[in-house]
């Protein structure tokens, strides 16, 4: 004879029945789940994977071009700074009192001011070059954020304004002094531009170099913006097949 209470037996039977029903429900759910997932995959067109692969390759091509653009920006910036440094060493420092910003007698005031602005331009680009090089080193081998170190220098480009305004007049003045046999300054310029360090560059070419460099920046950054736009467009295109578009 069993000592168990009839109520205990009823509760046990009830729990077993509930467990059996839950197990049956879970089994039915799991049996149906793979079918639902397969149906969702079947909604994606077969061509979607091929499109995504093509988009990925185009994005990689654009990124490769972007990295090449960054490399060219840094390389040309370094060349520009080195060239201006040659001019400073040959045409500016010898005309100043040693270890000072004071010009020796005989240097026309218009020339002295232009040369001061040119040195300021060289210092600006030298600092920007250091920032670019540090960014490339920190993000090597894939540079993702190149605009950040440049942005801080943009307000300082105002130093170009007086230089560009006065450049043509001062170049014309220097040309006249070089032709003047009685001008000590003209003779100095003529001698210095024949130095090996000038590499056949005349003083006019040196002085016009900042103009060319300034004009080059829109080319760099317009291409960069275009690449960013194209990559965004391609990323959106790669998502369209999965939305049934």
Phi and psi at 25, nearest 5°, equal: -65, -45
pLDDT at position 141: 81
pLDDT at position 26: 44
Q: How far apart are CA 197 and CA 90, in angstroms?
A: 8
Show the domains of the chain with their CATH numbers.
Answer: 68-243 (1.20.900.10)
Which residue positions in the chain have pLDDT lower than 50? Answer: 1-2, 5-37, 39-41, 225-226, 228-232, 234-239, 241-245
pLDDT at position 33: 47
pLDDT, one tens digit per residue, over 16-66 is: 444 444 444 444 444 444 444 454 445 555 555 555 666 677 677 778 888
pLDDT at position 16: 47
Q: How far apart are CA 107 and CA 96, in angstroms?
A: 9
Calculate the alpha carbon distances from 36 to 42, 43, 244 in Å. 10, 11, 17
Beta-carbon contacts of 171 under 8 Å, excluding residues fewer than 6 positions away, are 204, 207, 208
pLDDT, one tens digit per residue, over 205-217 is: 999 999 999 998 8
pLDDT at position 142: 81
pLDDT at position 139: 87
pLDDT at position 10: 44
């Amino acid at each position: 004879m069993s000592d168990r209470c009839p109520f205990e037996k009823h509760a046990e039977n009830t729990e077993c029945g509930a467990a059996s029903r839950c197990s049956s429900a879970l089994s039915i759910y799991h049996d149906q789940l793979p079918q639902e997932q397969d149906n969702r995959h079947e909604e994606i067109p077969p061509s979607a994977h091929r499109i995504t692969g093509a988009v990925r390759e185009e994005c990689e091509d654009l990124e490769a071009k972007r990295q090449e653009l960054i490399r060219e920006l840094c390389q040309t910036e370094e060349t520009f700074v080195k060239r201006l440094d040659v001019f400073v060493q040959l045409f500016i420092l010898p005309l100043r009192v040693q270890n000072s910003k004071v010009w020796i007698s005989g240097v026309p005031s218009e020339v002295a001011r232009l040369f001061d602005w040119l040195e300021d331009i060289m210092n600006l680009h030298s600092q920007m070059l250091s920032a670019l090089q540090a960014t490339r080193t920190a993000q090597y081998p894939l540079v993702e954020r190149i605009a950040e170190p440049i942005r801080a220098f943009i307000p300082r480009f105002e130093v170009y304004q007086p230089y560009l305004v006065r450049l043509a007049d001062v170049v014309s003045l220097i040309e006249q002094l070089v032709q003047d046999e009685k001008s000590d300054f003209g003779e100095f310029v003529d001698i210095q531009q024949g130095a090996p360090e000038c590499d056949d560059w005349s003083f006019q070419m040196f002085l016009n170099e900042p103009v060319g460099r300034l004009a080059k920046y829109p080319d760099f950054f317009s291409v960069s913006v275009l690449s960013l736009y194209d990559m965004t467009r391609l990323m959106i295109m790669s998502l369209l097949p999965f939305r049934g578009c």
